[in-house]
Amino acid sequence: MEPEPNDEQKLEEIMTLQENSAESSPMHGFALIDFDYPIQCLKNPLKPQYNGGIVVNSEFNDGLNGWSLAGGAKIGNNVSSDGNKFIVASERKGSYHGFSQTFQLDKDKFYVISGWVQVNHGDDTSIAVIFKTQSGFQHAAWVNAKSGCWSMFKGGLANASGPAQLYFETNNTSIDIWADSISVQPFSQEEWESHQNQSIEKVRKSKVAIQVVDSQGKPLPNATISVEQRRADFSFGVTINKNILNNNAYQNWFFSRFKVTVFEDEMKWYSTEATQGNVNYSTADAMVELCKSKGVAVRGHNILWDDPNHQPTWVPALSPQQLSVAADKRVESVVAKYKGEIFHWDVINENLHFNFFESKLGPNASTHFFRLASQFDNTTLFLNDFFTIEKTYETSSPANYLKKIKQLRKEGYGGPLGIGLQGHFSLPIPPYIRSALDMLASAKLPIWITELDVTNTTNQVIFLDQIIKEVVSHPAVEGVLIWSAWKRYGCYRMCLTDKNFNNLPTGDVVDKTRVTLSHEGLVGITNAEGYFETSLFHGDYKAIVAHPSVPKSFQYNFTVTPNGGSDHVKSLSYKFTTA
């Protein structure tokens, strides 16, 4: 067994990653977007991303030039024993008191914010990175800082213009805040979209060259190749509910489009055990069977819910001992019943925001339920919470999400674990979404966008399209589920169709994404050398080949695999013969 790398080795590896990223930069001499986020707390901070961007004196090698005092505090330029220079705010009189720098922001640009912080004592001090703008205070990032090593923060800002004052805030005024390698990098929306497209091509797709030859091995020009996707590596689906069971129009609309889904309410505890001891899975069973008959995979949502307002009506009155027995029975009942039929389970929903079970059963309740569920099915068990990528809230910040993962592991859950991000958006901040995903990706766990919707505003369609493209372009995301189960009286927050299952504009956005991801309707013609070249999303495909000289068409199955992330890997090549 090889020894665990030390901090210096980790530092060298991360710096090599950043150097390689910079060397492959398409614009401005630096990587257009840097996805990296080192999860380790390091002895020394790394160099600032994007060379600091528009920050003056980002590494504090020029004293306090560019930086000013915010509130009542003492600020100074310190030097570590190995010569690293950084800024320190001490004798702070208020939560935001310390150091600051002012920037002129452009409302049409996106800003990626990053840097490194440390505190002089304590462990896990929550620090907010905030901009004071003309429209108010905007949180750009959260970080849990430690003493004795440097922690990276990463965040984003958008929809802000004019002067903006950057500062750092923590409620504990007895703590000194240290900072270094601070970066504020603006991107035009054109640059941002260009990088999304580059990332999709690089991490989601591979170039494919298909050659058609005759029985003697000679190239066949003008052969027609129809490409059908049989299975996608990247999952894209929509929520359904019990209304689909007796509604042919609903079934036709949904099953003609999607191969993955999640149920809105039908598997939740309050739906399957409305009265204690009377467990009824008939509706969920019917929906599972219907999906199975159509080749649609079902995600499990949810086993338990930590919100006290979403328990079965009989549960809140239980004593702790009674609750423990009832909850354990619930876990075993639903997980064992659907073993092998559900590809994920949200185990204890929203337990960054709420603590119903922890308040009754103790702080280790979450870990207990994860461990219990894993005994009945070895599928991936997920955390699932809101406002981790939608808003810059401390409670469910990426930093606190990572902290929850560490807690589960420390308390003994070692099984398959996934990161579920609900994605209930109002006003999206694309650079914050991306930075949050970067931070979460450092855990090296599957990430799914589990309940994506956008509130009904004048820009709903634009925002939905923007968010979908953002999450699809991020290499760490493995699937997206749109939260839009149909009801006659209206959906939860966002409908995709009208009452007659005609697409609304939001449905058109979802259809456009689905068609793009699946290459629906893709037909190509071979050139003089018998080749058809294209770029396909990773997955399994069927090619139907026809040519005027051949009496009937031929079918071939093939798989498009990742090329390892290299821009220089040759196309995947396939040779189909009409013999």
Cβ neighbours of 218 (radius 10 Å): 8
Residue in 124, 9, 115, 128 with CA at minimum distance from that of residue 397? 128
CB 52 within 8 A of CB 182: yes
Distance CA 39, CA 405 (A): 12
Residue in 400, 422, 434 with CA at minimum distance from that of residue 128? 400
Half-sphere exposure of 167 (CA within 13 A, CB side): 23
CA distances from 106 to 110, 235, 250 (A): 8, 36, 45
Distance CA 448, CA 471 (A): 9
Q: Cα 271 from chain centroid?
A: 28
CB 288 within 8 A of CB 298: yes
CB 188 within 8 A of CB 546: no
Distance CA 177, CA 44 (A): 15
Distance CA 550, CA 372 (A): 59
Find where tokens 């619930």 sit: 330
Half-sphere exposure of 422 (CA within 13 A, CB side): 26
Cβ neighbours of 188 (radius 10 Å): 12
Q: Is 451 a catalytic residue?
A: yes
Q: Cα 445 from chain centroid?
A: 11
Token duo for residue 283:
């509706």
299 residue type, one letter = R
Considering 169, 350, 390, 470, which one is annotated as catalytic?
350
Distance CA 576, CA 439 (A): 44
Considering 451, 470, 520, 533, which one is annotated as catalytic?
451
SS3 of 96-131: the string is: CCEEEEEEEECCCEEEEEEEEEEECCCCCEEEEEEE
Distance CA 145, CA 127 (A): 7
Q: Is 91 a catalytic residue?
A: no
CA distances from 481 to 60, 236, 244, 263, 426 (A): 44, 6, 17, 11, 17
Residue in 553, 550, 546 with CA at minimum distance from that of residue 525? 546
For the chain, counts of helices (H) and of strands (E): 12, 28
The catalytic residue positions are 350, 451
